[in-house]
Structure 1
Amino acid sequence: MQNSHVKKVLIVGGGISGLTAAIALDKIGIQAEIVEKEKEYHVYGVGIIQPPNVLRALNEIGLAEKCLEVGDSAPGIDYYTGQGDFMFHALSPTIEDYPGLNVISRRELHNILYEKVQSIGTRIYMDTVVSEIESTTQGAVVELSNGVNGTYDLVIGADGTNSQIRRYLFGEIKQSYSEQGVWRYKLPRLKEIKQPLFYYGHKAKAGLFPMSQDEMYLLVTTHEPGNPKHPNDKLSELLQERISGFGGVIAEVRNQIIDPNEVVYRPIFTHLLPSPWYKDNILLVGDAAHSSAPHVGQGASIAIEDVIVLADILKHNLTLEETLKIFMKKQYERARIIVENSDQLVEWELLQWHGKENKDVNVGKFVVDTLAKMNEPILTELYAQ
């Protein structure tokens, strides 16, 4: 059914959720335009984890199969001590027809989404930001920095953790620093790495995640008290230092970390915007509304789910207000679970690294239960407003 209330949409932010939004909206006959502040895309080649729930969401726009073809799938993750002694294998909760997890290069995922957006003719304004925006009864009146003006039935703020659109709607918000940082580095795949693995050290954890037949990436989480500002030209050296206490295959790849420009380091900040994430005809999605620690591999997944669910509701031709209310009922709780449960995992890790581990906590069960919760249906019928 063609939506008579929402016919023209502006998406602010051309990342994963913004590109996905354009594809999902086009599928239901809604015209979208994208505003992206960067002059050109610079997407890192390190990987991203795709649990079953995001593959299910991507299947709604016909792209799950391509991600599985390009990426590397596994039933679960192997866990080792910091010195490389095997502890256990953890199967990831599954959805029928999908693996426990798929790992894909972020660049490859971007290319899949971008090529689809190009094929459907979505207009992307690069090197452009929103200069002015005003909500009216006729829609959101927007002026862009490139001189383009327009009135849109809906504006979607998919512009990340430091969202310009969020500041416009709600002002500055406080993001919580987790006292941890995450490091990523692309490597040639070792033949012995058959599926993802994690090493748990005394002061850090390090994993290797295959993302194709030829490539894998190193994923390291460390304690970074006070949010230190690491010099870019020292990142490879600093990453080597942080995994110097590990044995096994982590020690084997350590000396391959040689290019500081290829090290992707991010301090972990989190936030969850209170409901609702919208005002009038402007809605926030993805990291603009909720940003989590990467400890259950669901941050990008929920961002993609946001826009898939939004498009699914828009198919029902409800008023925009009804659509956004239902959207919040469906997505707020899922985002809350991921943000809060990931924060809890951070807290437990820091306690463990300080020798204060709670022996009564079953971290593995906590993670599995969280992932299983995310596998619950998201596109069920609506109307329980």
Structure 2
Amino acid sequence: MAKGGGQDEASVSDEEWERFLRESVTGAADAPVEPSARARAVQRRLRESPGQPEGWRTYTPAPRRRRTGWYAAGSVAAVALLAVALFPQEVVGWFGGGDGDGGRAGGTVAAETERPREAPAAEPALRPTLAEPFRGSPAARWADGAAGITVPKAKATGWMDAAQVERALRRSKQFMVASGLDTRVLRGERPARAIALLNPHQKDVQRYLRAALSSKAPTAENDPLLLFSRFRPERARPAGDVVRTRGRLTYREGKRGAVEVTADVTFVYPLTPAAGDGGRDAEVVRTVVRREVVMSWDDPAKVVTEPGTASLVSYALDMTNGGCSGPTGFFEPPFGTAGEQRADAARRVDPYDRSEPVDRSGGTASRGDDCATATRS
């Protein structure tokens, strides 16, 4: 789904770049020299009035906005050329040509740096399509993949200095990416990269992982979806190559001086039936998943751990359009029944409302008998 960017093989050489910068300020060596504003004015007056010209000190020059504008344009062009040379895929995305969903009307919303006070505003009730899978939802203006997960500035905390906290935050984000965006994991394969970031000496978590990833009939306690996003390839395939995300990391000092990082991230997965023909009228369903994962980066002098791994403190899940029956170990998009499932549910929830913490009671738009009805997807 989400794809990383990279440098294009074609780039501008240092010599060409230096020449471009130099000429954007001084002009090309063989460029024609344009007469000065004063010379042009004098020539015009001589043509129009054959009499004695005014003294040059009485001439009032025009404002210099045009020249300032030219220098500004040269600077912008220089920056743009450098950006295209270094980050071609990212630049394409800035101009709406990256994800195939028609771009974002109004641009991408600002990154989430604190808990919002209210839910996003209502969007027009538009049906998602293969060309625009996020149409009609707040995710139409969210960032793609890992870019939607905000990481705070690192400061010395607990047993870690600022550089160590920065690494802990980076690895915490890597865990959320590996568990919720890795295309192999989304196809149901083993989440090896995510597991490698977890403390192998944390026995209860290792038991959960073995049961969750090996059982053909998972229970609510060992459901792999609590940590990992998985779909059955034979039933659902991605509608496009982008997953939209919104969320943030926070951190504080935890037990025994550990750095405790909380990741609160919402993932929006657009899917279409695997057996469909992929035509323009193909059905698209969005599965919306919000996870809150708390990781403890422990002091190895006080806790048995391995370098670069964290202990799990807690994890919780809210989910919409992912199945409303017993756990199967996979999200089950309700193709053909979207909007009909559990219409009699007493509770109604907005999966895009991030103004409250994840509901840990087990019933919010999730599985079980208390499955709620989502107000939008």
TM range (shorter): under 0.3
TM-score by length of 2: 0.26
Q: Which of the pair has more CA radius of gyration?
A: 2
TM-score by length of 1: 0.25
Bigger share in strand? 1
Bigger share in helix? 1
- Indicate the structure whose relative CO is greater, using CA pairs within 8 Å and at least 6 residues apart: 1
